[in-house]
Amino acid sequence: SAVISQKPSRDICQRGTSLTIQCQVDSQVTMMFWYRQQPGQSLTLIATANQGSEATYESGFVIDKFPISRPNLTFSTLTVSNMSPEDSSIYLCSVIWGDYGYTFGSGTRLTVV
């Protein structure tokens, strides 16, 4: 399956600041997905990122809070803006990879203090 690298793996940030998470895939993919996994909860889709167009956001998520870039077919970034403690979560990027379905990165564990 595709190999996904996410950076940083974890970070502790001050409230009011922003963090940009990078996702690198070892193959070209059309769509990349960003998920959030809050403590003790399941995964929630934040947005779908296509190369060359604006990301499509799910209900409850907005571009001002979670701007996404998709400059090419192997890379994407998710920014968590103006952070508050409620944003503490694991953020994961994911791609569809043939018969494997969805492959996930190892995630970015964000703690906002």
Partner 1 sequence: AQSVSQHNHHVILSEAASLELGCNYSYGGTVNLFWYVQYPGQHLQLLLKYFSGDPLVKGIKGFEAEFIKSKFSFNLRKPSVQWSDTAEYFCAVNANNNNDMRFGAGTRLTVKP
Q: Is 99 in the site for partner 1 (CB under 8 A)?
A: yes
8 contacts partner 1 (rule: CB under 8 A): no
SS3 letters across the chain: CCCEEEECCEEEECCCCCEEEEEEECCCCCEEEEEEECCCCCEEEEEEEECCCCCEECCCCCCCCCCEEEEECCEEEEEECCCCHHHCEEEEEEEECHHHCEEECCCEEEEEC
Given 7, 11, 31, 111, the residue binding partner 1 (CB under 8 A) = 31
The residue (of 80 and 92) whose beta carbon lies closer to partner 1 is 92
Indicate whether 73 belongs to the interface with partner 1 (CB under 8 A). no
Instruction: Compute the Cα dihedral for 103, 80, 11, 6 and give only its sign.
Output: positive
Q: Looking at 44, 69, 79, 81, which residue binds partner 1 (CB under 8 A)?
A: 44
Q: Among 21, 92, 110, 112, which residue sits at the site for partner 1 (rule: CB under 8 A)?
A: 92
94 contributes a contact to partner 1 by CB under 8 A: yes
Residues binding partner 1 (CB under 8 A): 1, 31, 33, 41-45, 48, 58, 92, 94, 96, 99-107
